[in-house]
Amino acid sequence: MILLKSNPIVENIIKEITPKLNKLQKKDIIPTLAIIKIGTSYENDSYIKSISNIFSKYNVKKEVYEFPHNIDEKELIDNITKINNENKIHGIIILRPIPKHIDEKNIRNLISKEKDVDGITDANIASIFNEGNSTNIPCTPKAVMMMFDYYKINLEGEKVLIIGRSNLLGKPLAHLLLKKNATVTVAHTKTRDLEKEIQNADIIISAAGSPSLITQKHINKKHIIIDIGTSVVNSKLCGDVNFKEVENKVKMLSPVKNGIGKLTTYILLLQLVNAANNLTK
């Protein structure tokens, strides 16, 4: 079995950003990310910690703007608009989930396309579906595609199953895979006989956030599995795949540690550095 680790891809990203960071340093510019956090979440706290650990290695800053879960939508809009207009901020991300009383579309589209380093605005998402050239692609779908490219995994004609249909992960990822001529199926909570869909697939990308969704009973030696899902079990992050059961019983498998999650954070760093360079020309 081949373990699909992100480390070698991360090394390539570091090589790419180093001269760009040097260029910014000569102009006394520190790339700065604004993180919008609404309410509390263990997963979000873990992600912020991961961002902090990585950014600190490269003299890149992050500023966390915390708001209560019950914040009024107008107040939140006013705050995000103000943050977006700050020259010192080069990129903005909004952590999810967003409270139900807040219209997520209204909130995410307050971010300018240039500062949308997570690729969540309608303008950046639309460029994926309209065959345009998007500066910022959603970080996790981009991480998955970079992993396929690095490990030379052929997608043409392959049956790819995506478990999860979110607007910012499952749907854009499906379109990126279609561009590579994969045969794509998107499963979700209403899918009948998910086990059969898994068994029929060549490649499985699971983003359900459901611990041990995929076990040894679902898989075979031909499967390539990308585990994107994150859940908290006993105060620990885990993926959708029962790693101990599935390990060495599939063709390729991405781990939770040093897998898609780490690569996603480095892509966020890359897109932030690119944004800082573009905004300060």
Judge if 161 and 206 occupy the same domain. yes
Residue linked to tokens 């003299």: 59
Q: Which domain holds residue 201?
A: 139-261
The string of DSSP letters for 178-225 reads HHTT-EEEEE-TT-S-HHHHHHH-SEEEE-S--TT-B-TTT--TT-EE
Average pLDDT value for residue range 119-124:
92
Judge if 107 and 56 occupy the same domain. yes
Alpha helices in the chain, H assignment, sequence order: 7-26, 42-55, 73-84, 104-108, 122-129, 139-150, 170-179, 194-200, 243-246, 260-279
Over residues 142-152, the pLDDT tens digits come to 999 999 999 99
Judge if 85 and 176 occupy the same domain. no
| pLDDT confidence tier of residue 234, bands split at 50, 70 and 90 | confident
Alpha-carbon torsion, ordered 177, 130, 13, 36, to 10 deg: -110
107 falls within a domain: yes
Judge if 159 and 240 occupy the same domain. yes
Judge if 171 and 256 occupy the same domain. yes
Give the per-residue pLDDT at 168.
85
The set of residues, in sequence order, having a beta carbon less than 8 Å from that of 196 and lying 6+ positions away, is: none
Judge if 109 and 144 occupy the same domain. no
Average pLDDT value for residue range 148-172:
95
Number of independent structural domains in the chain: 2
The whole model's pTM is what? 0.94
Judge if 110 and 143 occupy the same domain. no
22 falls within a domain: no
